[in-house]
Amino acid sequence: MRYIGNKTRLLDFIRRVLRSRGIRPGRAVDPFSGTASVARALKRWQFHTAASDIMEYGYVFARAYVEVTAPPAFTGIAQQIRGRERRHALAWLNRLPGRPGFIHEHYSPAGTAGAVHGRMYFTPANAARIDAVRDEIEGWYRSSAIDDDAYHTLLAALIEAADRVANTTGVYAAFVKSWQPNALRALELRTDRIVRGNGCTAARANALDAVRDAGEFDLLYLDPPYNSRQYAGYYHIPELLARGWYDGDIEMRGKTGLIEDRDRRSDWSSSRRCESAFEALVATARCRHIMMSYNAEGIIREETIERVLREHGLRATYRRYRRQYRRYRSDSDGASRRYRANDVYEYLYCVSR
């Protein structure tokens, strides 16, 4: 999934730093797991990982890619889809004809609400198919035909499939006013290889609660928001797909159809509150090692990061590691927005305790 701060391209860098510091597999906590790329890698590297995020879609990814221990069985729908394996379930969902529903109504130009606001997040065909797939998954789950593992695995596949055909530049704060080539492709759910075993967990929680509830553990990996963009507003459609719309009215506002997000707004995206949130979290964590991934343009000042980690760790073990990489751009330079540079630095701030 296209995602601000995704660390997929930095996994080798993270692993090299872990090895250079002699941090061996143990219990790890990732309280800003996002799309779960690092939490999943930690699991693959034999860490017993607790992944959490304040967003519901973050929980869906953590559940599907971190907690699930083996490919789900689809025995409850085997007769319907003519097979037990996950690829048969995906093939069934990919063959479903479109059934216009919530997404078609609100986030495509063919829906009444979508037309009023000119929303072009999805083509009418893809929006109707997203509705059909989401309804099918929900129906299977509510009838107990699939279990929690299968439910979240299929939801993760749908959220990623929808993102591939979303008519956006990578975030959902705005839609493009003409159809991009990716938006004209047909929705297609794809399977993703499951990392087996080793007792990892997933939760939806704010970072402080997740760390407090973890007790004693070995590695705290932090990848907090680094600017003032609230993820609840930038990814409201993936959040809707994760939460569903089956248990009550969804209130939407504005041209982009934002949803209520007061319980999912983060202090870490506030320049006034991020530094106190960082210090409170570090002071609370009962862990042996801390590794914080942070952007060179982040809103927490580097002197604050160094001070807090040195005060709450062994001062001599503090170190900052640097990696240069190509900037993720959700839009182009223009009259109202210019990026500082094409490349940016990602830092890993580490300390032992």
User: From CA 205, how far away is CA 154, in angstroms rounded?
Assistant: 22
What pLDDT score does 337 carry?
46
Q: How many CB atoms lie within 10 A of CB 337?
A: 9
Q: How many CB atoms lie within 10 A of CB 66?
A: 26
Reference 287, options 312, 260, 254; nearest CA is: 312
Residue pair 236/306 in contact by the 8 Å Cβ criterion: no
User: Which domains are present in the chain?
Assistant: 1-70+194-230+266-353 (3.40.50.150), 76-187 (no CATH)
Give the helix ranges, DSSP H, for the chain.
11-20, 37-44, 56-62, 78-81, 86-95, 102-107, 112-117, 124-142, 148-164, 207-213, 231-234, 236-243, 274-284, 302-311
What pLDDT score does 180 carry?
97
228: helix, strand or coil? coil
User: From CA 209, how far away is CA 167, in angstroms rounded?
Assistant: 35
DSSP class of residue 27 equals E
Summarize the confidence of residues 257-261 as an average pLDDT: 88
The residue type found at 109 is P
What pLDDT score does 62 carry?
98
Residue pair 293/221 in contact by the 8 Å Cβ criterion: yes
pLDDT, tens only, 22-37: 999 999 999 999 999 9
Extract the tokens encoding 249. Answer: 């009215």
> pLDDT band at residue 230, thresholds of 50, 70 and 90?
confident
| Residue 165 predicted with pLDDT over 90 | yes
| Residue 136 predicted with pLDDT over 50 | yes
Buried (b) or exposed (e) across 196-211, using 16+ Cβ within 10 A?
Answer: eeeebebbbbbbeebb
Mean pLDDT of the chain: 92
